Chain A
Amino acid sequence: MADGRSAGADLTLTGVTKRFGGFAAVDDLDLEVASGQFFALLGPSGCGKTTTLRMVAGLEEPTAGTITIGGDDIGRLKPYKRPVNTVFQNYALFPHLNIFENVAFGLRRRGVKDVKSQVDDMLELVELGGYAKRRPAQLSGGQQQRVALARALINRPQVLLLDEPLGALDLKLRRQMQIELKRIQTEVGITFIHVTHDQEEAMTMADTVAVMNKGVIEQMGAPADLYDNPATTFVSNFLGQSNLVKASILDTHGDALVVDVQGTRIAAPVARARRTDGQVWVGVRPEKVFLGAAGVEEGSYDDNVLPSGTVTDVSFIGVSTQYLVKMPWGQELTVFEQNTGAREQFRVGDKVDLHWVAAHTFLLDADQDAHAGDETYAALSGAPTA
């Protein structure tokens, strides 16, 4: 680093709370992000993720709690005294300055020498070498996004904050920029805090994802852990899709639990059980389930079988076929079958059984709302997501 700044530093939030009037946007939040991590704060709009980010940037003052970077308390410092930079939603590029001056802005304020060569290098990094003299308005959305990134990164912050940086881009460009961002982060090694409501984006890019809801973190961990072993109904629905069926725990056999699902016994690993007695939601991801004709065995997938379903809907979507299966107790479950050609195709009205490997089962507390975090359900029923 030319100016002696470190590549990244730990970020710690302890008991951070932000109240707007009586409303707690962020509620007693504890968070630790290790140096050099790509960390995603994921949650629906209004969950407090952007407020959290703005408190780290210094654009919002916490009502309570401390924020430290590399051990230094920065929670009460002015934004321009903090070793963080932000990529704003909709970029906030200075419209009266050209691309070069936009990127040079932070260097000039800090009185850094050799501005020209640093800006040129940074524009090269984001592949905008020939655009220095243009104005922001003359660039496409994707190019503006890269300028915003360059303008923040050039200052070598200890923590880079990204507030829905890809939200304004169309799907194809967004996927492209996700890969690009990940590449740049690996290259510069700076701690990235990425705020997004797009679960796929969070899982693709981040080393660690924290799922936020109503001002608190519901669960935090590696994307695969969150997906395979959700801690709450909110996480199970917000991150991908889940089938949740009301059940009660009967017994424990070593590291497995025996569960009664509407009259059928299934097994679930203790390691994935958030409760080990009483009422639970039995959860299984739609793509983990195999459909078989009623009464036919499926070999290694026979750990857990829910029999006597009726296919009520079939949607062919190319790579997979999505089935809705009505169970004897009236609930409709979702099953995704890969279109490998090896599996039997079913039609509406067919009698089927649902099979899956016991290890793919998770158990959640039955006191939680089965539809929490289910945006499709919320949209259809008009109920709030959270």
Chain B
Amino acid sequence: MSRVGRWVSEHVVMVIALLVLCYMFLPIFFVVLMSFNAPTSRLNYEFQAFTWDNWLNPCAPAGMCESVVKSIEIGFLATVFATILGTLVAFALVRHRFRGRAGTSLLIFLPMATPEVVMGSSLLALFTTAGLAGTLGFWSILVAHIMFCLSFVVVTVKARLAGLDSRFEQAAMDLYANEWQTFWRVTFPLVFPGILAAALLAFSLSFDDFIVTNFNHGNTITFPMFVWGANQRGIPPQVNVIGTVMFAIALLLVLSGGVLQRRRER
């Protein structure tokens, strides 16, 4: 009994950790599992039989791959614009003292704090008021995505920049680097991990945004819109193939980042 008791007390943290991990990964496991399902009906809710078909014909459901491409296009552009603008805002907020700086810092948080569904519907009202109701589509989605990604980029880059010791830049200036060289040789490389993290966050926010997009997409179908639409009739298992691929890419990015970091430290 005492040996068992000791074993439990020594491993209780590990056991809890494993349970929490299971809690987190079980849903992802199901995403992967259902991508190999051969559903007998239109409903892909129960695992019936194993098949490679979904992986061999990922674009079989009409319009799905087009929607994935659309989402990637929007996600890519939104990421580029939000990252550039947000990084500039973060630099201004951390590195410069100006009137309204504290106010700006606060206002940047507002889009994050606003309920997304209200944000989406109000944005539709804004577009309609501006007389753009008939033109909703790719561009209105992009504008909306840049808008809500911006706050996350600013907050992420700001955190990294605030933690950056200004002595590195002073050392660079002391070593004959002018302002431009100091920025590109020292500041940017040191802030880059923050910018990269912000960009990845922006892309993932844009790629799977449903709520805001739902109000402002016009006739353009993004991947989340496709899944939502397909759900009316039964979701094809190929959706899980896309989900699994996205997950695998994200995992690969994280792992290669870790390997790179470790190699650099060696």
- List the interface of chain A (C-beta within 8 A of B): 57-59, 78-80, 84-86, 88, 90, 92-96, 105-106, 109-110, 135, 137-138, 151-152, 155
Can you offer 24 A-B residue contacts whose CB atoms are under 8 A? A57-B174, A58-B173, A78-B178, A80-B173, A80-B176, A84-B174, A85-B174, A85-B175, A86-B174, A92-B170, A93-B171, A94-B168, A94-B186, A95-B168, A105-B175, A105-B177, A105-B185, A106-B176, A109-B175, A109-B177, A109-B181, A138-B265, A152-B175, A155-B176
Q: Which chain B residues lie closer than 8 Å to A59 at the CB level?
A: 170, 173-174
Pick from B167, B176, B177, B178: contact of A90, CB below 8 A. B167
- Give A96 to B265 CA distance when docked, in angstroms: 10
Question: Residue B172 at the A interface, CB < 8 A?
Answer: yes
- Give A58 to B171 CA distance when docked, in angstroms: 11
Pick from A78, A90, A93, A151: contact of B173, CB below 8 A. A78
Pick from A80, A86, A137: contact of B265, CB below 8 A. A137
Q: Which chain A residues lie closer than 8 Å to B97 at the CB level?
A: none
Q: In the bound complex, do residue B175 and residue A151 qualify as a contact, i.e. CB atoms below 8 Å apart? A: yes
Q: In the bound complex, do residue B171 and residue A94 qualify as a contact, i.e. CB atoms below 8 Å apart? A: yes
- Give A152 to B174 CA distance when docked, in angstroms: 9
- Give A78 to B180 CA distance when docked, in angstroms: 13
Q: In the bound complex, do residue B174 and residue A79 qualify as a contact, i.e. CB atoms below 8 Å apart? A: yes
Q: Which chain B residues lie closer than 8 Å to A93 at the CB level?
A: 171
Other than A88-B170, A92-B167, A106-B175, give 10 A-B pairs with Cβ distance below 8 A. Answer: A59-B173, A88-B167, A94-B172, A95-B168, A96-B189, A109-B175, A152-B174, A152-B175, A155-B175, A155-B176
Question: Which B155-184 residues have a C-beta within 8 angstroms of A?
Answer: 165, 167-168, 170-178, 181
Q: In the bound complex, do residue A92 and residue B176 qualify as a contact, i.e. CB atoms below 8 Å apart? A: no
- Give A80 to B173 CA distance when docked, in angstroms: 5
A248 to chain B, nearest CB (A): 52
Question: Residue B99 at the A interface, CB < 8 A?
Answer: no
Question: Residue B264 at the A interface, CB < 8 A?
Answer: yes
- Give A85 to B173 CA distance when docked, in angstroms: 10
User: Hey, what's the 0/1 contact readout for B233-266 against A, CB within 8 Å counting as 1?
Assistant: 0000000000000000000000000000000110
Q: Which chain A residues lie closer than 8 Å to B171 at the CB level?
A: 86, 88, 92-94
Q: Which residue of A lies closest to B264 (CB)?
A: A135
Q: Which residue of B lies closest to A57 (CB)?
A: B174
Q: Do most interface residues of chain B lie in helix, strand or loop, or is the interface mixed?
A: helix
B46 to chain A, nearest CB (A): 51
Question: Residue B190 at the A interface, CB < 8 A?
Answer: yes
3 smallest beta-carbon distances between A and B, as pairs:
A106-B175, A109-B176, A92-B167
Q: In the bound complex, do residue A80 and residue B190 qualify as a contact, i.e. CB atoms below 8 Å apart? A: no
B164 to chain A, nearest CB (A): 10
Q: Which chain B residues lie closer than 8 Å to A58 at the CB level?
A: 173-174
Q: In the bound complex, do residue B265 and residue A135 qualify as a contact, i.e. CB atoms below 8 Å apart? A: yes
Pick from B173, B176, B190: contact of A96, CB below 8 A. B190
Q: Which chain A residues lie closer than 8 Å to B190 at the CB level?
A: 94-96
- Give A79 to B170 CA distance when docked, in angstroms: 8
Q: Which residue of B lies closest to A90 (CB)?
A: B167
- Give A109 to B185 CA distance when docked, in angstroms: 10
Q: Which residue of A lies closest to B165 (CB)?
A: A92
Question: Assuming A135-B264, A135-B265, A138-B265, is B167 touching A110 (CB within 8 A)?
Answer: no
- Give A288 to B173 CA distance when docked, in angstroms: 49
- Give A138 to B266 CA distance when docked, in angstroms: 8
Q: In the bound complex, do residue A80 and residue B178 qualify as a contact, i.e. CB atoms below 8 Å apart? A: yes
B176 to chain A, nearest CB (A): 4
Q: Which chain A residues lie closer than 8 Å to B167 at the CB level?
A: 88, 90, 92
- Give A78 to B177 CA distance when docked, in angstroms: 10
Q: Which chain B residues lie closer than 8 Å to A138 at the CB level?
A: 265
Q: Which chain A residues lie closer than 8 Å to B186 at the CB level?
A: 94
Q: Which chain A residues lie closer than 8 Å to B172 at the CB level?
A: 94, 105
- Give A109 to B176 CA distance when docked, in angstroms: 6
Q: Which chain B residues lie closer than 8 Å to A57 at the CB level?
A: 174
- Give A46 to B174 CA distance when docked, in angstroms: 23
B189 to chain A, nearest CB (A): 5
- Give A93 to B265 CA distance when docked, in angstroms: 15
Q: Which chain A residues lie closer than 8 Å to B175 at the CB level?
A: 80, 85, 105-106, 109, 151-152, 155
- Give A211 to B191 CA distance when docked, in angstroms: 40
A270 to chain B, nearest CB (A): 47
Question: Assuming A90-B167, A94-B168, A109-B181, is B173 touching A79 (CB within 8 A)?
Answer: yes
Q: Which chain B residues lie closer than 8 Å to A135 at the CB level?
A: 264-265
Q: Which chain A residues lie closer than 8 Å to B165 at the CB level?
A: 92
- Give A59 to B170 CA distance when docked, in angstroms: 7
A145 to chain B, nearest CB (A): 14
A281 to chain B, nearest CB (A): 42
Q: Which residue of B lies closest to A110 (CB)?
A: B176
Q: Which residue of A lies closest to B181 (CB)?
A: A109
- Give A90 to B168 CA distance when docked, in angstroms: 11
B175 to chain A, nearest CB (A): 4
- Give A284 to B18 CA distance when docked, in angstroms: 71
Q: Among the interface residues B165, B177, B181, which one has the most CB atoms of the partner chain A within 10 A?
A: B177
Q: Which chain B residues lie closer than 8 Å to A137 at the CB level?
A: 265
Q: Which chain A residues lie closer than 8 Å to B181 at the CB level?
A: 109
